[in-house]
Structure 1
Amino acid sequence: MSFAPRGNNSNFWHSLWLVARKAIAKYCFDVSVLFLTNDQCFDHQPGRQHPERPERLSAVQEGAALSELGSSLVQIEAELVDRNEILKVHDSHFVEALEKVDFQGGGRIDPDTKMSEHSWRAAQISAGAGIQAVRELSKGSHDAAFCAVRPPGHHATSNQSMGFCFLNNAAIAAQYLVNSGQKVLIVDYDAHHGNGTQDIFYQNPDVFFVSFHEWPLYPGTGRMEEVGDGQGVGTTLNLPFPARTTGDHYRKAWDEIIHPKVAAFDPSWLIISAGFDSHRNDPVASLGLTSGDYADLTSEIIKVVPSGRRLVFLEGGYDLEALRLSTAAVLRTLAGDSLHPEKSTQNGPGKEALETIAQFHIRNS
Structure 2
Amino acid sequence: MTTAYYTHADCKRHEMGAWHPESPERLQAIEDQLIASRISTLLDHRDAPLAQETDLARVHSADAIYRIRENCPTERSEYQHFPLDADTSLNAHTWQASLRAAGAAIAATDAVIDAEIENAFCAVRPPGHHATRKESMGFCMFNNVAVAAKHALEVRGLQRVAIIDFDVHHGNGTEDIFRNDERVLMVSFFQHPYYPYSGTEQKAGNMVNVPVPAHSYGDVIRELVTQQWLPALQAFRPQMLFVSAGFDAHREDDMGQLGLVEADYAWLTRQIMSVARDYAQGRIVSCLEGGYNLSALARSVTAHLKVLADLE
The answer to whether TM tops 0.5 is yes
Pick closer, same or farther for the CA change 1:66–1:184 going to 2, 3 Å: farther
Corresponding residue for residue 100 of structure 1: 70
Q: Does 1:241 align with 2:215?
A: no
Q: Residues of 1 paired with 2:202 and 2:214: CA distance?
A: 20
Structure 1 segments unaligned to the other structure (5+ residues) = 1-30, 339-365
Aligned identity (percent) is 40
Q: Does 1:177 align with 2:152?
A: yes
2:203 equivalent in structure 1: 227
- The more displaced of 312-321 and 178-187 is 178-187
**1:149-298 to 2 correspondence within 5 Å?**
149-179=124-154, 180-182=156-158, 183-223=160-200, 225-228=201-204, 233=205, 235-298=206-269
| Corresponding residue number in structure 2 for 1:303 | 274
Do 2:208 and 2:228's aligned partners in 1 also have CA atoms closer than 8 Å?
A: no
CA gap 1:92/1:296 in 2 versus in 1, 3 angstroms = same
1:63 & 1:76 partners in 2: Cα distance? 18
Q: Which structure has greater helix proportion?
A: 1
Shift of 1:211: 1.3
Contact kept, 8 Å, 1:226 with 1:237, in 2: the verdict is no
Q: Distance in 2 between matches of 1:91 and 1:153?
A: 15
Compute the RMSD of aligned alpha carbons.
1.4
1:127-185 CA-to-partner distances (Å, cap 9, x unmatched) read: 11111001112231312100000010000001100000010000000001111332111
Matched-pair contact (CA < 8 Å) for 2:14–2:94: yes
Q: In the alignment, is residue 32 of structure 1 matched against residue 6 of structure 2? A: no
Q: Residue deviations 1:83-103, cap 9 Å, x none?
A: 101001000122112211026
AA matched with 1:219? P
User: Which residue in the other structure is 2:289 paired with?
Assistant: 315
Q: For residue 49 of structure 1, report the CA deviation from its aligned partner.
A: 0.3
For 1:305 and 1:151, the matched residues in 2 are separated by 26
The structure with the largest alpha-carbon Rg is 1
Contact preservation (8 Å) 2:73, 2:90 = no
Distance (Å, rounded) in 2 between the aligned partners of 1:119 and 1:269: 29
Counterpart contact for 1:153–1:315, Cα < 8 Å = yes
Letter in 1 for 2:23: R
Deviations along 1:194-217, one digit per CA (max 9) or x if unpaired, are 000011000200111111110111
Equivalent residue of 1:122, what SS? helix
* Distance in 2 between residues matched to 1:72 and 1:61, nearest whole Å: 13
* Structure 1 range deviating more: 66-75 or 184-193: 66-75
Deviates more, 1:100-109 or 1:83-92: 100-109
What is the one-letter code of the residue matched to 1:89?
V
- CA change 1:54–1:205 in 2 (3 A) is same
Q: 2-side partners of 1:207 and 1:64: how far apart?
A: 32
Match of residue 49, structure 2, among 61, 76, 79: 79
Partner SS for 2:179: coil
Q: 1:331 and 1:114 mapped to 2: Cα distance?
A: 30
Q: Deviations over 1:281-308 (max 9, x none)?
A: 1021110001111001111122111354
2-structure distance, mates of 1:240, 1:66: 35
| Partner residue of 1:332 out of 297, 306, 312 | 306
Gaps of 5+ in 2: none
